[in-house]
Amino acid sequence: MDERRMSHACILSAPTAEEGLRMARRLAQEALCERGGKQPCGRCAACRKVLSDIHPDLITVRRLTDDKGRLRREITVDQIRAVSDDAWVLPNEAPRKVYIISEADRMNTPAQNAALKLLEEPPNGALFLLCVTNPALLLPTVRSRCAQQNSAAGEEAADAESVKLAEGYLRAAASGDRAELIRWSFGQDSLDQRQTQALIEALSQTVTDMLCARRDSLGLSRRQLAEIAALAARCRDYLRVNTGAKHILGLLAADTPLGSGNRG
């Protein structure tokens, strides 16, 4: 058995939720394949069931939708508690159960604490695959319980111009003054779609660096940084469905959590 089969939890970092899910399905196949080789055969009933997402021992947790059919922003503690309960029930047909948590970096803090408890005392044989686009949003205690794997694509370095823009935005957020953010937003109204996309990528990377203490956080609290990272993820989703640049800038001006000013 190779190492991945042994480890009970793995964080899969990918640039998009779809890519993360693809990586997780591949590992789930590896864990559930009836031939039990190093590589999944891709042909046995288990492999095929995994691919069509109908394997009874593969459980995928996703963000729920609200009563208006919109995706909720977070994965909740109830969803993780349901996983904990289920993980103690014996598998249906495979030798083990596999749990994929798609967008695990959207678990809120109570959900992450519930996940931590589960990872600290994992039921025998259960495998947990946590897909993330931003591993820094996971609690360090959760990260320390998991093996980590990055997608081959990796992250591209943000261009200097976009990083500068992102820094301007973060300084405005750190000022604790909404008017600063609105001024910043109006100042960027010449950005086109592609430049806005680059800005959001740069913002996401800069915030990750700040959360990992690779860069000065300009007095922004960890909580605020985590919320900004979540906001950036939302903007990325919106851009993917061609939401206009102006709308994104407006969102950044209106929805950014404000700091307490220059106290720190």
Q: Going edge to edge, which strands form the sheet with 58-61?
A: 58-61, 98-101, 127-132, 9-13, 147-150
- For residues 17-33, b (16+ Cβ closer than 10 Å) or e, as one string? bebbbebbbbbbbbbbb
Asked if 51 touches Zn ion (CB under 5 A), the answer is no
Nearer to Zn ion, 100 or 225 (CB): 100
Count, residues near Zn ion per rule CB under 5 A: 5
Of 6-14, 28-36, 86-94, 169-177, which part binds Zn ion (CB under 5 A)? 28-36
Output b/e per residue, 121-134; b: 16+ Cβ within 10 A. Answer: ebeeebbbbbbbbb
Nearest-angstrom CA–CA distance, 80 and 101: 9
Told to check if 41 binds Zn ion by CB under 5 A, we report: yes
**Residue 28 makes contact with Zn ion by CB under 5 A:** no
For the record, the structure tokens of 141 come out as: 């205690």
Q: Which is nearer to Zn ion, 41 or 139 (CB)?
A: 41
128: closest CA among 7, 14, 37?
A: 7
% helix, strand, coil for the chain, step of 5:
50, 10, 40
| 98 touches Zn ion by CB under 5 A | no
Instruction: Please state whether 239 falls in left (phi above 0), alpha (psi between -120 and 50) or beta.
Output: alpha
Q: Contact region for Zn ion (CB under 5 A) — 47-55, 70-78, 164-172, 187-195?
A: 47-55
67 CB-near residues (< 8 Å, 6+ apart): none
Compute the least distance from the CB of residue 48 to Zn ion, in Å: 8
21, 33, 137, 235: which one binds Zn ion (CB under 5 A): 33
Cβ at position 25, least distance to Zn ion in Å: 12
Among 44, 51, 182, 218, interactor with Zn ion by CB under 5 A: 44
Q: Can residue 47 be called a binding residue for Zn ion (CB under 5 A)?
A: yes
Give the interface segment with Zn ion, choosing from 44-52, 63-71, 138-146, 189-197 (CB under 5 A). Answer: 44-52
Smallest distance, Å, CB 47 to Zn ion?
Answer: 3
34 vs 177 by CB, closer to Zn ion: 34
CB of 125 to Zn ion, least distance (A): 18
228 and 222 Cβ atoms separated by less than 8 Å: no
Range 102-141, binding Zn ion (CB under 5 A) = none
Q: Residues in the site for Zn ion, rule: CB under 5 A?
A: 33, 40-41, 44, 47
